[in-house]
Amino acid sequence: MKRTAVRLADGRELVYFDHDETADRSTPDPRTLPAPPPASELRHDPLLDEWVAVAAHRQERTFLPPSDQCPLCPSTADRTTEIPSPDYEVAVFENRFPSYSHRVEGVTNPGHGRCEVVCFSADHGASFASLPQSQVRTVVEAWADRTAELSALPHVEQVFCFENRGEEIGVTLAHPHGQIYAYPFVTPRTRRMLQSARQHRDRTGRDLFTDVLAAEREAGVRVVAANDLWTAFVPEAARWPFEVHVYPHRKVPDIPALDAAERDAFGTLYVDVLTALDGLFDLPMPYISAWHQAPVRTGRDLAYLHLQLFSSRRAPDKLKYLAGSEAAMGAFINDVRPEDAAERLRAALADRRRPDPAGEGVSGR
């Protein structure tokens, strides 16, 4: 894997990841850009004991540009973008409008950290599910690299890799991409999960996540797909209409801890799950894909790396909105039985794998 780090015109870092060791990524950024904004301001909510970042500069971020003005496409002779190279495989750069930053001068109680954009492909019309396996593996290598690099930064307590897909989710750029947040605190969901894991270990002497995975594999009814090293299942208490958790069979704290075989095996299974989601209603499924990694300094013995993938679409023409119970009280009500969701995802995946009677490959692809 070739890793090439360069600087954009305003000093932000850009890292290219390529399988091709001969790839030339030396094209400079010719733009004249203002200095990056300062870090956000952190404010503490004493009622929930949670931190909130106030980042007013993000109001100015790019919003749903036409495809010929996409800032994540490669640069051309006629138009420069955030990616100076005329082509790339996978590229990661510091977000121009970050929620967290190391640029903290003059900020009261600054939101230390870093926010990065992960461009999965130079092809504007691609999706993660359409990537070849070699490129999926490059993305996994980029996640591992960035998790290790960002975990070493001062003040960073947790690294979060994720993808938002679809305008229904709130995506403002259609180009296939994800993000990475390096937080200056441990997030509320992670704190809650680690607390549950600690209580389970104190009570039983066992690992909570290992027990959950074992129970789902034994029950089988909610398993969507599996291979020798990973299992994807709809959790028994799924909050969203279609929600899938993807676990490695070996307990590891974070993506860098995955070995080569696990990194390869993840890609094939994950693309299957995304294919199943898109096949449910024969529509591009909006989703959030979130890696749950161990915090940098606390609870690493309790954490278990896994991916949470969920969609707000509950029918071809209906979305689930977080209304009073969910938004105000955090008490979810699911419209779809998890067992039914798993059965429908398995059926959608089987249909996508079915040979095309016309002899043109795989049906539905």
Active site residue 102: no
Give the pLDDT confidence of 307-344 residue by residue, as tens digits: 999 999 999 999 999 999 999 999 999 999 999 999 99
The band of 63, judged by pLDDT with boundaries at 50, 70 and 90, is confident
- The whole model's pTM is what? 0.94
User: Which pLDDT score is estimated for 364?
Assistant: 39
pLDDT of residue 361: 45
pLDDT of residue 358: 54
Write down the pLDDT at residue 365.
35
Q: For the segment 246-285, what is each residue's pLDDT rounded down to a tens digit?
A: 999 999 999 999 999 999 999 999 999 999 999 999 999 9
Instruction: Give the tens place of pLDDT for each residue, 130-187.
Output: 999 999 999 999 999 999 999 999 999 999 999 999 999 989 899 999 999 999 999 9
Decide if 107 contacts 41 (C-beta within 8 A). Answer: yes
Check whether residue 308 and residue 244 sit in a common domain. yes
pLDDT digits (tens, 9 = 90+) for 72-95: 999 999 999 999 999 999 999 999
Q: Positive or negative CA dihedral for 52, 144, 14, 91?
A: negative
Residue 357 is predicted with a pLDDT of 54
Whether residues 139 and 61 share a domain: the answer is yes
Residue 296's CATH number: 3.30.428.10
Give the whole-angstrom CA distance, residue 318 versus residue 312: 9
Residue ranges making up the domain that contains 266: 189-353
Phi first, then psi: give them for residue 136, nearest 5 degrees. -60, -45
- Choice between 61 and 309, residue whose per-residue pLDDT is larger: 309
Q: Are residues 95 and 65 part of one domain?
A: yes
In a domain, 359, yes or no: no
> Is residue 361 one of the residues assigned to a domain?
no
96: nearest Cα among 164, 26, 177, 10: 10
Structural domain contains residue 337: yes
**Marked catalytic residue, from 112, 175, 177, 245:** 177
Among 185, 217, 251, identify where a domain stops.
Answer: 185
Helix (H) or strand (E) holding 340: helix 338-353
Quick one: 178 and 90 in the same domain? yes
Q: Are residues 28 and 78 in the same domain?
A: yes
Q: For residue 38, is it within any domain?
A: yes
The reply to whether 36 and 172 lie within a common domain is: yes
In a domain, 364, yes or no: no
